[in-house]
Structures are given as C-alpha cells and as structure tokens.
Structure 1
Amino acid sequence: MTATHVSDHEYLKKILLAPVYDVAVASELSYMSLLSAELGNEIFLKREDQQPVKSFKLRGAYNRICSLSEKQLQAGVIGASAGNHAQGLAYSAKMKGIQATIVMPETTPDIKVDAVRRFGGENVNVVLHGTSFDQASNHAKALCKTHGYTFVPPFDDPDVIAGQGTVARELLEQNPNLDILFIAVGGGGLAAGIAVYLKQLKPSIKIVAVESEESACFIKAKAQGEPTELESVGIFADGVAVKIMGQETFRLCNRLVDETITVTNDEICGAIKDIFDDTRVIAEPAGALSVAAIRKYAKQHDLNGKKLGGILCGANINFHTLRYVSERCELGEQKEAVFAVKIPETKGAFKQFCECVGAKAITEFNYRYASESEAHIFVGVKLKGGQQEFAALQGDLESKGYDCVNLTDNELAKLHVRHMVGGRPPTILNEQVFSFEFPERPGALLNFLNTLGEQWNITLFHYRNHGAAEGLVLAGFDIAPESRDDFNQHVAELGYKVEEVTDNPAYRFFLSQPA
C-alpha cells in the first residue's frame, strides 16, 4: 500500500491500533501557569520530553518497525538521522530485539552519537558518513540495497505518521476543549499525524504549523504546490532543519493544517526560557517552536481567554547551546534591546549618556574610543514595555543629539560584533568582510583556515563555538580591486556557505575604517 492510497479513515484506524505504548508513555499535558497569566490565555504543553528518548520520534520509529514482516525484522533495519529519529530507532530496535544500522553525519555532536549507542546497545551499529544529512541518507539507502535492510524514514511514511499521530489521541483525551493547537514542522510527520486524527474527531480545532524562519520548507511547498527543496537551512533549530518536507506529509498538512507561522531564533530562545520558567525543563530549540509561536500569535491576534496548546516535541539539547540561548532569550521576549550610539569624545559625555538612559537596567555596555571627536558604544537595556519602550528611548536620545542605531534585529551584531566592539584597522585597507559556515568537528577551524589559503591577508576574524553542527566565522580580507575576481572564484571553490557583509551597518559602525 503506497502513501497516496492511505485514506483519512485508514489513518484513524492505524493511530488507534498503534502499539507504541510497548515503548512510549502517555506524556503529560502541563498547564503553563506563568505564561498563561502573562498572555491572558490558558496555555497547555504536551510533554514529549518525557519519552525514554526525550522526543516524540520514538512513536513513529517503533510503529514502523512493528509493521514489518518476520523476514524483514530478521534482515534488520536502517535509518539516517543526526538526532531524535536516530535515538528513537535505536531504542525501538533494542526493545524489539532486532539489528539496526544508523548512519549519522561525521559532524554530529558526540552527545548525540553516544546517546544512540547507549539507547541501542549491542543491537545498533552506528556508521558515521559525510558532513550533511543528505550524504548520510544517501549512504544509508545504498547500504539498504546492498544488505537487504528495511529503510525506516524519519517522517514520510504512513506508519511513521500514524505513530506520531498517537500524540493527538492522548491530547484529545487530556483536554478536548483546546481552541488552537501549535505544532512544529520539519519534515511534517508530527503535524500530519496529529492533523489527520484531530480533524476527523474535532474539526473545529484550529491547527497552526510552526516553522523556523531559517527552514520554512512547508511554507515554500505551499507556495510551489508541492514539496520544494530549500537552498539552505538554519543550524540552530536542528530538529526542524529539513530542506524538503515529505510528499505524504505535505499532502496531509496542505489539506488539514489551517495556518502557518514562522519564528526567529531569538523568539525560540525566549520560548526555551518560558518553558523552563513553568516546568524547569530545558527544551531543545525545535522543541520550543510551538511555545514561541503561541507567544507571537497571541499578541498578533490579540487573543484573550482562549485555550492554546503546544507540543514540547524534544529536549535533546547540546549543553553548550545554552550559552547562545541565555544571550538571546530576552531579545526574543522583547525584554531587551541592543543598540549602537555615537557620543562626543569629551569629558563627562559618558556620564551624560547614562543619565539620558535613566533608571533602565543596562544589560551590556561596550565602549571604544573612535577618534578625537567621538566614541562608539554598544548598549543593551532591559525592557518592560517591549519595543515600544525602546522606540521611546531611541526618540529621546536622538532628540538630545545622539546618533542611535537599533541593532535588536541585526543578526551580525548579536552573533559577532557585540564581542568585537572597537576593533578598527589602524591603516587604510581594501577590507571586505564575509560570514562563513563550515562543518564543526575536531580540527575544523584549522581546516577552515588551511582551506582559505594565504593568498589574501586576513584583516578581521571572529569565531565562537555554539555547540552546533556548523561553525560560524566572520572574516575580513585585504582584497585589491584587481584581485577581487580571483578571490570570488577561490571562495566559490571552497564549498562553504558564504555571504558578503561589508555593507552591514553593525560592521560599518564599530569595525570598519571611517568613511
């Protein structure tokens, strides 16, 4: 039976008969009292972090394995994943007593590789191959043909979709009165499974699909009328970092999901903090998407007194990622703003500026002498009234003669420049600045530098490990006009994702030579 032949009624039957509770638990639906009070709505969170593998992926993987014949079980299964699907498949294979091969990219953080081996034990063979999910997936499919394994896909399969749909079965029993349900979408398996169940039993419930702004493959698929590959995806919310959603998941979501919404990395970080404040659980970025959307959607639509639900779909976070989250969460909640200001380089000017800021709590302050006439500062302030409060502060500063630039939504400023304020070249250079992404593994930074070569002098460099699968670098080069074409060709041959940011205002304000 192919995916396109599965009717809604057949999905309902599959979900009701799915044997997922051999391995999974009926996760709690927690009331978020703090966030509910703040937003004026009743907010409930489905706690899939309570699964043995800390994500919902166990449901779909186990349900798929249970659908296999004895011959297929004896031959073993294979899958490709850098995260939660790998752990769900490993745990399922161990519980069923079968052999599983799991192909993971070489760039996968050790914490995830170790977790797969721990969950699978002697039943699992981990193969590290390639530097991306696509390379790992292609290798898994090649091994599948060679050895006769059965491939267990992460989302685009009726039995996987039905397994994920058991979340909706519990949800409807725990609270049948939800007005709106928010569901994170990567490949679409969770949203498809939940939607095909709920829309048959409670069609009045509104389902909102939530995507990261950096990996909105469902929105692109809707615009094109079919799953269409994104050119690139963001690296922060790796659990939903999917370039193209599945054919069957798109068929279901396109028909059954009512709305879509995207959220930024800062909004995701704010949601991780919201979840922690209410539950003391640290969600992974993808696991916090639904809460990020609840906060955003409730404010956009001025909701009040509604019952809103979200899915905490995973809590497998790399600990080092918390550094990034802690820096960005209050920006996401609009409780902090960062901005740049030029002030006169005169005695007492620094104090006068602080007096203008008034009693607001300053969260960050970087000062640098720029010339005999002016200084540049990078400032963070805590807000109680959101961006409207900052707009009032900015207007007040400008009325007093300060040149003030809001950098709250400037990614380059928040990721790199805030750590580099004041670094200007002492002599005139043909400086051009670029942001790079490269695979993160031991020795990756040195390999990156070696690959860049020594043809052009590096004039600026900033790198910070955020515990993700890719490293992020800001680099400047002294490029003579006559050698720019050669440089462009060299960079194109490197194979890294690269973007020129020479004209970015954060760079111009703090790091470039004066005009």
Structure 2
Amino acid sequence: MTAFAENARSATLALRDLFDPTPLQRNDHLSAKYGAEIWLKREDLTPVRSYKLRGAFTAMRKVRAADPAQGHFVCASAGNHAQGVAFACRHFGVKGTIFMPVTTPQQKIDKTRAFGGAAVEIVLTGDYFDQTLAASQKFCTEAGAHFLSPFDDADVIEGQASVAIEMLDQLGRAPDLVILPVGGGGLAAGVTGVLRDQGVDFRFVEPSGGASMTAAIAQGGPVTLKGVNSFVDGAAVARLGALTYARLAWAKPEQILLAPEDRICITMLEMLNVEGIVLEPAGALSVDVLPELAESIRGKTVVCVTSGGNFDFERLPEVKERAQRYAGLKKYFILRMPQRPGALREFLEMLGPDDDIARFEYLKKSARNFGSVLIGIETKAPENFAALTGQLDAAGFTYRDITEDSALAEFLI
C-alpha cells in the first residue's frame, strides 16, 4: 500500500466519528441493461448528501492537529462544499464563515445554516462566484483564519480518497472500471491516488459546459475556461486545481468524457422514476456516460460514483423540459399564421394523435395579414415532428424551429 493510500485509510477511520461508510450498491436495473456488474457508490447518502464532507472534515482535523489554536475556518461556496464545511465546524466546535453569492438559492442557504447551526456565519456577497471567492480570501487574511479550498488542497484530496478505501473494503477487490465526475478534480485525484496501482481503469466525466479537465490535459496545465454553463452546479468549474492537475496529468484525453447538460436530465429522471434515487446533476454524471461505454464494459465490474443528491425539486420542471428537448420529444416553433378564418383550425388538424400543445402564445400585430404564434409541442416519438413539419411545408405555412436556438429559447421560453 502506498503512503497516500495509508493516509487515506487513516482519514477513512477518522470519518467514522461522523458517519458510517456510504453504501456500495449493485444496481440490478443498470447491470441488466448493460450486461455488466454495475455498482453505485452512493455519496448522495452522506449526512450532507455529497462527498464534500469527507474533504472538509479531513482538512479541518489535520489543521487543528497541527495548530490547536486555529478555531476559525473560511470557505467560498454556493453548494455542497459549504454544507460540508458547516457540518465539520459544528462537529469540531469551531467558527466557520461561509461566503456565498447573493444569487444562491434560499434552500441552499437554509441547509448550510441548518448543518452549521450557531457555529457558522453566512456572508452573502457578489453576484458571481469569482467575486465571492475574492471577498472570502480577503476576509480570511484579515481575520487570520484558515481557508478551506473545495478541491485544491492536499488534505481535502486525502479526505476524498476515503471513497476509494471504502469501495475496496465493500467490494472485497478492485473493480475493473471506476467512473468519476470531475469539477475541480478533488474527488478524482483522491480516488485515483488509491486505486491507480491496482490495475483499475478510469473514466472521468465532465459536463459539456464545464470541461476544465479536458482543457487542462490538452494544454498541459490548468487553464481558465472563458465561460461555464452553471446547470451542473456541482461540477461547473472554470479551472481545474493546480494540485489536482498534478495528480491527474497522466490521464489520456480518451479517458475523459463529456456529458451534455440536457442529456444528464434524462439520466436524472431515469434514476428517479425507475430506481427512486434522487441525484443532483453532478451526481448523475457517472451514470450518464454508461451508454457510451456499453460495448467496452460488458461482463466487467464497474463502479459509478454518484457524488451528490442535493437536488431542489423546484427544478424538476426544468429537468423534465431539458430531457424532453434532448430526446426530441418536445419542440418550440414560431409559426406565421395567416389572418383569416379557419387558419388556426387548419393547423390544429395537422397534429397527430400523440401530439400535445404545451405552450401557445398568439402575437397578433394590428394592420398585418399575418400573426406570429409561439407554440410548444410535446409528442411520444421524435419522428412525429417530421410528419408535422412535412404537412406544414405542404400547406405553405412559414415556421421556424427555435428549440436549439439558445438565445431565442431563453428569451421566449
């Protein structure tokens, strides 16, 4: 066993003061679907519903062992790291100051406050995370506190490695393949640090709109992405950590997979509806890429790390919407409707038995022969839209499919 793995095992033992090992569950549904032994490492079942508690607790424990007088910790986070730090602060009886963007959903603020209790103070500042981070680091320096990075910290990485230690103990052997979500790289750096010398293969999964590891491997070092899609908030990181990159630089580009944000929604709904498992977008990343790996994993033992389950059900309509659009079951059109009796009825008669109008806005302009209709249609099979547009073309209707036009869709839908 390497020195890193030995330290990770010590960190794992210390974590038992907080919670039992998270389950490693064989998933019958996925195993049958892919002809493999698919296991889920359920990090969505920690006390804070994500693996982040592991790193926060381990780093805090080691800092206090080295400097018992340090009783103040600071972090910047709008999600799982904040909740992990809050929980650890309450456990150790130390003060925590947690900086969150002003735009943070109230549900996340309330959960962080509930986990930390009187031990934590929440400071809302900045519209964007970079502003929040700068404010937290400035405060930390002035207050003489210890800053807890969400991923770019050796002790945090060691804590996240406890996931691999538990995995080995629970499975009784090393799996053939481990699929890991990647944001800043802390979880991936920790798990691979334990398992890499045991013949385990790895796949790393990033959201398409936050591929910081892909960029780092391609450029030979961390680079800052120009823009990040924040939907997969638990993994939407613009820059891979320096320490995490150093521990992941061996990865090959073909080991990194990108998951489209809308496709992740299909996976979230499947896991919820079929398995009753609530996953946040980042927590579904490892499961989402299984179809891409179907041929290569047949007959193998695969562990998917489901990294978090902090999902606000107020987002469920958005998740369903994204899933339907990606599957080709929902489209939005702007239709140019003639201003004559019977025109609307003529259009409605073109709809098939499985087509349903989900959105209808008629935008008539005075003194014009045509009006514009924003219409959303749901159907049961993607090919139904080909039949509909074929009829529209034959009837001479003018229309525009805006489903994939992000600017128009965001403004109108």
Q: Quick check: TM above 0.5?
A: yes
| Residue from 253, 266, 273 that aligns with 2:269 | 273
1:92 is aligned to 2:88: yes
| Residue from 97, 100, 107 that aligns with 1:104 | 100
Q: 1:382 is matched with which residue? A: 379
Q: 2:318 is matched with which residue? A: 324
Q: 2:5 is matched with which residue? A: 12
| Residue from 62, 67, 72 that aligns with 1:72 | 67
CA positional deviation for 1:60: 0.6
| Residue from 175, 180, 185 that aligns with 1:183 | 180
CA positional deviation for 1:22: 1.9
Q: Is the 8 A contact 1:24 1:59 kept in 2?
A: no
CA positional deviation for 1:351: 4.7
Matches within 5 A, 1:412-423: 412-418=407-413
Q: 1:285 is matched with which residue? A: 281
Secondary structure in 1 matching 2:44: helix
Q: 2:39 is matched with which residue? A: 44
Hey, what's the Cα distance between the residues in 1 that align with 2:188 and 2:58?
A: 17
Matches within 5 A, 1:354-503: 354-362=348-356, 364-366=358-360, 368=362, 372=369, 376=373, 378-384=375-381, 386=382, 390-391=385-386, 394=389, 398=393, 401=396, 403=398, 405-418=400-413
Deviation per CA, 1:448-501: give whole Å up to 9, x if none. xxxxxxxxxxxxxxxxxxxxxxxxxxxxxxxxxxxxxxxxxxxxxxxxxxxxxx
Q: Is the 8 A contact 2:9 2:165 kept in 1?
A: yes
CA positional deviation for 1:342: 4.8
Q: Is the 8 A contact 2:337 2:343 kept in 1?
A: yes
Matches within 5 A, 1:24-423: 24-34=19-29, 43-70=38-65, 72-76=67-71, 77-175=73-171, 176=173, 178-203=175-200, 205=201, 207-256=202-251, 259-295=255-291, 297-298=292-293, 307-342=301-336, 348-362=342-356, 364-366=358-360, 368=362, 372=369, 376=373, 378-384=375-381, 386=382, 390-391=385-386, 394=389, 398=393, 401=396, 403=398, 405-418=400-413
Secondary structure in 2 matching 1:416: helix
Hey, what's the Cα distance between the residues in 2 that align with 1:255 and 1:107?
A: 37
CA positional deviation for 1:180: 3.9
Q: Is the 8 A contact 1:72 1:150 kept in 2?
A: no
Q: How many residues align?
A: 405
Change (3 A) 1:53 1:349: same
Hey, what's the Cα distance between the residues in 1 that align with 2:273 and 2:378?
A: 21
Q: Which runs of 5+ in 2 are unaligned?
A: none
TM-score where L is the length of structure 2: 0.85
CA positional deviation for 1:262: 2.0
Hey, what's the Cα distance between the residues in 2 that align with 1:298 and 1:187?
A: 23
Hey, what's the Cα distance between the residues in 1 that align with 2:339 and 2:330?
A: 27
Q: 1:437 is matched with which residue? A: none
Q: 1:491 is matched with which residue? A: none
CA positional deviation for 1:246: 0.4
Change (3 A) 1:100 1:357: same
CA positional deviation for 1:38: 5.5
Q: Is the 8 A contact 1:182 1:294 kept in 2?
A: no
Deviation per CA, 1:294-348: give whole Å up to 9, x if none. 34x247x697566544222122233432332232222234444444555666555
In percent, how many aligned pairs have the same letter? 33
Hey, what's the Cα distance between the residues in 1 that align with 2:387 and 2:301?
A: 34
Q: 1:488 is matched with which residue? A: none
Hey, what's the Cα distance between the residues in 2 that align with 1:139 and 1:25?
A: 35
State the 4+ residue runs in structure 1 displaced beyond 6 angstroms: none
Change (3 A) 1:152 1:262: same
Change (3 A) 1:181 1:338: farther
Change (3 A) 1:410 1:188: same
Change (3 A) 1:278 1:150: same
Q: Is the 8 A contact 2:352 2:384 kept in 1?
A: no
Secondary structure in 1 matching 2:247: helix
Larger RCO (alpha carbons 8 Å, 6+ apart): 2
Secondary structure in 1 matching 2:308: coil
TM-score where L is the length of structure 1: 0.69
Q: Is the 8 A contact 1:105 1:132 kept in 2?
A: yes
Secondary structure in 2 matching 1:409: coil
Change (3 A) 1:38 1:405: farther
Change (3 A) 1:73 1:100: farther
CA positional deviation for 1:169: 2.3
**Partner amino acid for 2:114?**
R
Q: Is the 8 A contact 2:264 2:281 kept in 1?
A: yes
RMSD of equivalent CA atoms: 3.2
**Partner amino acid for 2:9?**
L
Deviation per CA, 1:376-430: give whole Å up to 9, x if none. 452423244x5x6645664565466555544443333543324xxxxxxxxxxxx
Q: 1:21 is matched with which residue? A: 16
Hey, what's the Cα distance between the residues in 1 that align with 2:350 and 2:35?
A: 34
Change (3 A) 1:331 1:177: farther
**Partner amino acid for 1:221?**
A
Hey, what's the Cα distance between the residues in 1 that align with 2:144 and 2:204?
A: 36
Secondary structure in 2 matching 1:46: strand
Change (3 A) 1:121 1:354: same
CA positional deviation for 1:226: 1.0
Q: Is the 8 A contact 2:336 2:370 kept in 1?
A: no
Hey, what's the Cα distance between the residues in 1 that align with 2:203 and 2:319?
A: 25
Q: Is the 8 A contact 1:337 1:380 kept in 2?
A: yes
Q: Which runs of 5+ in 1 are unaligned?
A: 1-7, 419-515
Secondary structure in 2 matching 1:238: coil
CA positional deviation for 1:277: 1.5
